[in-house]
Amino acid sequence: MPKSLFSDMDYETGLVCINAGDYENACDFFRKAANCGHAGAQFYLGMMCINGLGLSYRREEGLMWLGRAADQGHAEAKRELSMLKEGKKVFDEKKESLREDPLEQLYREGMMAEDQGHSRRAIALWKKILEQDIRHLDALDALARAYTMAGKPGRAKIYSNMVWKVAGLYL
């Protein structure tokens, strides 16, 4: 297969990863395609670098990737690059949807870990959420279910009761 077909496949896989909330893998696939000269991948990788999605905040690297995409005529890259260079922070709905609450991202990672049979990892992630926000109903509920499945009814009851108490405050 020619290099461009691989870069198209990597780009498409990166988009699938973004839609699934898997930003780290999205970055990996976009980077592969971007290194092959795929303008769309260069644009997304640039935006992810600038917004710290899937990797740490890397403004200079992000500007470089946006510049490469813009040089190939990518319209969104040109627009974002000019706004960023002017110091404006304007995002359209598509790019804004890439930004996610870190607690929700941890919750989703926990759900994925649980689905893959890694219940200890899932429990650790959900506890991490509760360290930051004890009222996070989804994490409380997930912990109650996880402890029930693990055969620990005492702990399950504690988290189930917390769900009802917290939910009662908001109903």
pLDDT band of residue 30 (cuts 50, 70, 90) is: very high
Find, among 74, 102, 64, 71, the residue nearest to 11 by Cα. Answer: 74
CB atoms within 10 A of CB 13: 17
The residue range of the domain holding 115 is: 102-170
89 lies in the same domain as 106: no
* Residues 86-97: tens digit of each pLDDT: 654 444 444 555
Total number of domains in the chain: 2
In sequence order, what DSSP letters do the residues of the chain get, joined into one string? --HHHHHHHHHHHHHHHHHTT-HHHHHHHHHHHHHTT-HHHHHHHHHHHHHTSSS---HHHHHHHHHHHHHTT-HHHHHHHHHHHTT-----HHHHTT---HHHHHHHHHHHHHHTT-HHHHHHHHHHHHHH-TT-HHHHHHHHHHHHHTT-HHHHHHHHHHHHHHHHHH-
Query: Do 8 and 90 belong together in one domain?
Result: yes
Same domain, 23 and 87: yes
Predicted TM-score (pTM) of the model is 0.50
CA distance 118 to 138: 18
Q: Are residues 14 and 60 in the same domain?
A: yes
Q: Which pLDDT score, from 0 to 100, does residue 171 have?
A: 42
* Rounded CA Rg of the chain: 20
Q: Are residues 76 and 113 in the same domain?
A: no
Do 165 and 106 share a domain, yes or no? yes
Same domain, 15 and 91: yes
Average pLDDT, stretch 40-61? 85
Q: Which of 43, 77, 96 is the last residue of a domain?
A: 96
| Cβ atoms 134, 126 nearer than 8 A | no
Domain's final residue, options 77, 96, 115: 96
Position 110 confidence tier, pLDDT thresholds 50, 70, 90: confident
Average pLDDT (97-119) is 80
Mean predicted lDDT score pLDDT of the chain: 80
- Higher pLDDT: 32 or 152? It is 32
Please check whether residue 57 is in contact with residue 27, taking contact to mean a CB–CB distance below 8 angstroms: no
Q: Which domain-ending residue is among 96, 122, 152?
A: 96
In a shared domain, residues 85 and 115: no
Indicate whether 22 and 92 sit together in one domain: yes
Residues 81 and 7 in one domain: yes
Higher pLDDT, 26 or 1: 26
- Domain match, 31 and 88 both: yes
Q: How confident is the model at residue 22 (pLDDT cuts 50, 70, 90)?
A: confident
Domain with residue 154: its CATH number is 1.25.40.10
Domain shared by 117 and 80, yes or no: no
